[in-house]
């Protein structure tokens, strides 16, 4: 009994860490909690199931079973090449999510490094980095992508991730920079400097933890945005080829009026999947956003 | 023995403006300040807000670029050293910051905060490190369990003690205390000040004490300098300045100290009125045509005043 009370006090002594606050905030928010469960279920299923699927087999054209309606053989019917839509949906969701994840990850790494450097050092370093950002923003993004898509001999997932990363890091860099700029004026950074801590250590171990909540929130919200991004580009015809199924490929079949009107099984499931993924990631992201800002917390 | 000597120190901040963010002018935050600190003494810098007190203190620990002048610490000019060359001196010169809320990293435990300087200069095992940190926590009157807590779990006074403990771990010779109590409650102020004095005895510290509260400075300091717009206008022993101020700005600063006794309150009002008119009539005796204070001139062996 005594031991127990002692333990309780100990637990209270420990300050709520970032992860704990986030978890509490999600638990308080039913929508976020539901979203998290749905998201986890979809991702587990998709990544699990795709392990047992043969992507080549699914991509194989079979003229004997074109545009078949959903049945027990083909759960979600087939497309104009007689390919199983359900299989494409699984692989496509996996591809789309992986692409989004990597784009978000890479842009976060670049944006974080440059943003921290610009914000911490300020002055000339900041100037150079900001001019680079201005330059990238000034580039006509869509035109660039179209040109790359047409001249690159093999356009695959990696190339797609690479060129999207090239354009999308700027927003993050600016966000992190402005936060770092205001943090570096605080005395704890000055204190570290007078204590003889080298710059790189101050950036990594003093500054970074204080911008981390901002990064996490931005990361999650970007993840949702980037899923939609891939799909819309593919829909416009500048995304991935049919040989790499993605949610965008499935939806872009709806450009054919016949498919749009009569063959709902091809594009509706993929559209719903995008909607559900984006919404649920967003709801979780909103809860995280509140967790990061003490004034908005519910719990 | 002279520990620190500032010689005609100037810190000018550029003001950028216009389309290309060119330097259009300078803020002369510190504009030719010279004084000396003897080993073991407490030297106070007073002045109104924006007079350049913090900038002077920060220049000594290289938080500001020095525009010109010398900062001689044990005879070596710190102003001319690069960031790398200055590192060994970091051990000897430490700073206590004004704001106990922003001067401790909110994401770090007390252990990591206080051990940070140790980790930069010494190779210690985690248990040795912990022991040293706990010793210092004990010295500043915080419980040993505090090491696993985060700054937000402490009061302002306790946080300032954590900051003080951090500045002591490397056994510095000189501590720059930038208004160490101005963010604290009056009841805690005296406590922290006395405590700083005890530490001075124990560790044989020299303080450069920055503040705008003349009462506090007088209580703490052997000698003080009065700053006005980046220049020293008067310097001397604390009693000299307090009892026998010579510069009009010092006189007004002392007259501005609020008095709690009702009888003298009326006198004070009269005195302030008198000083205001004196200020206007004798302005040119103290300031040149640009409103800049003159260079300090000795009026006794210990007392210097900026007179024409
Ligand atoms: N980094 C900076 N860039 C530009 N101007 C600065 C900078 N730091 C200080 N200043 C300016 O220098 C002047 C002196 O500032 P300083 O902080 O030294 O004043 P202070 O005497 O410490 O005042 P306080 O009592 O309010 O702390 C002010 O006019 C301030 O605006
Ligand atoms: Mg100040």
State how far residue A183 is from chain B, nearest Cα, in angstroms.
10
Protein residue with its CA nearest to atom 25 in ligand 1: B49
Question: Which residues, listed in sequence order, are joined to residue A279 by a DSSP beta bridge?
Answer: none
Domains of chain B, CATH where assigned: 40-56+83-229 (3.40.50.300), 234-307 (no CATH)
Which residue's C-alpha comes closest to atom 28 of ligand 1?
B50
Give me the pLDDT at residue A297, please. Answer: 64
Shortest-distance atom of ligand 1 to CA B50: 19
ipTM greater than cut 0.90? no
Residues 6 or more apart in contact with residue B239 via CB below 8 angstroms:
none
Q: Chain A closest CA to B186's CA: distance in Å?
A: 22
CA A228 to chain centre: 10
Expressed in percent and rounded to 5, the helix, strand and coil fractions of chain A are 80, 0, 20
The answer to whether the CB atoms of B166 and A195 lie below 8 A apart is yes
Rg, chain A, Cα only: 23
- CB count in 10 Å sphere of residue B17: 11
Are A195 and B145 in contact (CB < 8 Å)?
no
Query: Is B91 close to A188, i.e. CB distance below 8 A?
Result: no
pLDDT (tens digit per residue) in A3-39: 444 333 333 334 456 677 778 888 888 899 999 999 9
Mutate which of B73, B90, B107 to test chain A, going by most A C-beta atoms within 10 A?
B107
Q: How far is the CA of A195 from the centre of ligand 1 (A)?
A: 22
To test ligand 1's pocket by mutation, which of B16, B26, B45, B51 has the most ligand atoms within 8 angstroms of CB?
Answer: B51
| CA A96/CA A226 separation, integer angstroms | 9
Q: Is the pLDDT of residue B235 over 70?
A: yes
**Cβ B176 under 6 angstroms from ligand 1:** no
> What residue has token string 């009061």?
B155
- Mean of all residue pLDDT scores within chain B: 89
Q: Give how far Cα B188 sits from Cα of A273, B141, B183, Å.
A: 60, 13, 10
To which H or E segment does residue B157 belong? helix B156-168
SS3 call for A153:
coil
Tokens representing residue B221 in the block: 């300091």
Contact yes or no for B117 and A190 at CB 8 A: no
Which A residues in the span 174-213 are in contact with B, Cβ-Cβ below 8 Å?
Answer: 186-188, 190-198, 206, 209-210
Are B120 and A195 in contact (CB < 8 Å)?
yes
The DSSP letter of residue A274 is H
State the nearest Cα–Cα gap between B228 and chain A, in angstroms: 24
Q: What is the pLDDT of residue A14?
A: 41
C-alpha distances (whole Å) from A132 to each of A72, A184, B287 are: 55, 22, 49
Per-residue b/e over B184-222, b at no fewer than 16 CB within 10 Å?
beeebbebbbebbeebbeeeebbbbbbbbbbebbbebbb
pLDDT band at A288 (very low <50, low <70, confident <90, very high): confident
* pTM for this prediction: 0.83
Condensed to tens digits (0 to 9), the pLDDT of residues A184-241 reads: 999 999 999 999 999 999 999 999 988 888 888 889 888 888 888 888 888 777 777 7
Q: Identify which ligand lies nearest to the alpha carbon of B97.
A: 2
Whole-angstrom distance, CA of residue B177 vs CA of residue A271? 63
Q: Among A103-112, A153-162, B122-131, where is mean pLDDT lowest?
A: A153-162
Convert the pLDDT of each residue in B49-85 to its tens digit: 999 999 999 999 999 889 999 999 998 999 888 888 8
């Amino acid at each position: 009994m005594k031991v127990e009370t002692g333990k309780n006090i100990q637990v209270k002594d420990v300050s709520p860490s970032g992860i704990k606050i986030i978890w509490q905030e999600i638990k308080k928010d039913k929508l976020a909690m539901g979203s998290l469960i749905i998201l986890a279920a979809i991702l587990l299923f998709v990544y699990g199931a795709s392990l047992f699927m043969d992507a080549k087999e699914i991509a194989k054209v079979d003229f004997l079973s074109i545009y078949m309606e959903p049945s027990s053989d083909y759960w979600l019917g087939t497309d104009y090449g007689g390919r199983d839509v359900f299989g494409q949906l699984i692989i496509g969701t996996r591809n789309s999510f992986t692409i989004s994840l990597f784009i978000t990850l890479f842009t976060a790494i670049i944006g974080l490094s440059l943003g921290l450097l610009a914000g911490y050092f300020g002055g000339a370093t900041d100037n150079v980095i900001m001019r680079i950002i201005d330059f990238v923003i000034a580039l006509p993004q869509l035109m660039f992508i179209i040109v790359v898509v047409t001249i690159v001999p093999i356009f695959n997932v990696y190339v797609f991730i690479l060129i999207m990363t090239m354009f999308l890091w700027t927003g993050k860099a600016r966000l992190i920079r402005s936060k770092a700029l205001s943090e570096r004026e605080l005395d704890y950074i000055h204190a570290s400097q007078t204590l003889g801590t080298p710059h790189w250590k101050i950036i990594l171990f003093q500054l970074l933890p204080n911008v981390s909540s901002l990064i996490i929130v931005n990361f999650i919200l970007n993840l949702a945005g980037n899923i939609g991004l891939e799909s819309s580009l593919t829909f416009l015809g500048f995304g991935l080829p049919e040989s790499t199924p993605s949610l965008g490929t499935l939806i872009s079949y709806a450009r054919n009026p016949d498919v749009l009107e009569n063959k709902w099984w091809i594009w509706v499931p993929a559209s719903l999947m995008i909607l559900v993924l984006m919404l649920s990631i967003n709801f979780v992201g909103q809860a995280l956003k509140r967790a990061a800002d003490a004034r908005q917390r519910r719990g | 023995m002279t520990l620190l000597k500032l010689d005609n120190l100037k810190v000018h901040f550029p003001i950028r403006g216009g389309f290309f963010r060119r330097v259009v002018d300078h803020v002369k935050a510190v504009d030719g300040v010279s004084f000396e600190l003897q080993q073991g003494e407490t030297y106070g810098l007073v002045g109104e807000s924006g007079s350049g007190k913090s900038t002077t203190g920060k220049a000594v620990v290289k938080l500001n670029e020095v525009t010109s002048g010398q900062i001689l610490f044990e005879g070596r000019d710190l102003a001319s050293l690069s960031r790398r060359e200055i590192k060994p001196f970091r051990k000897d010169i430490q700073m206590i910051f004004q704001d106990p809320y922003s001067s401790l990293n909110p994401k770090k435990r007390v252990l990591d905060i206080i051990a940070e300087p140790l980790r930069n200069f010494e190779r210690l095992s985690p248990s040795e490190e912990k022991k040293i940190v706990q010793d210092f926590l004990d010295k500043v009157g915080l419980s040993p369990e505090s090491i696993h807590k985060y700054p937000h779990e402490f009061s302002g006074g306790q946080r300032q003690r954590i900051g003080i403990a951090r500045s002591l771990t490397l056994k510095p010779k000189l501590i720059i205390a930038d208004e160490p109590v101005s963010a604290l409650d009056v009841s805690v102020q005296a406590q922290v000040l006395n405590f700083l004095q005890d530490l001075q005895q124990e560790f044989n510290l020299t303080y450069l004490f920055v503040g705008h509260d003349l009462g506090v400075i007088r209580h703490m300091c052997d000698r003080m300098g009065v700053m006005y717009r980046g220049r020293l206008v008067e310097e001397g022993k604390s009693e000299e300045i307090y009892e026998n101020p010579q510069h009009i700005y010092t006189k007004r600063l002392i007259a501005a100290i609020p008095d709690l006794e009702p009888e003298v309150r009326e006198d004070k009002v009269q005195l302030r009125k008198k000083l205001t008119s004196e200020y206007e009539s004798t302005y040119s005796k103290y300031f040149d045509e640009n409103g800049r204070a003159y260079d300090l001139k000795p009026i006794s062996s210990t007392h210097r005043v900026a007179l024409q």
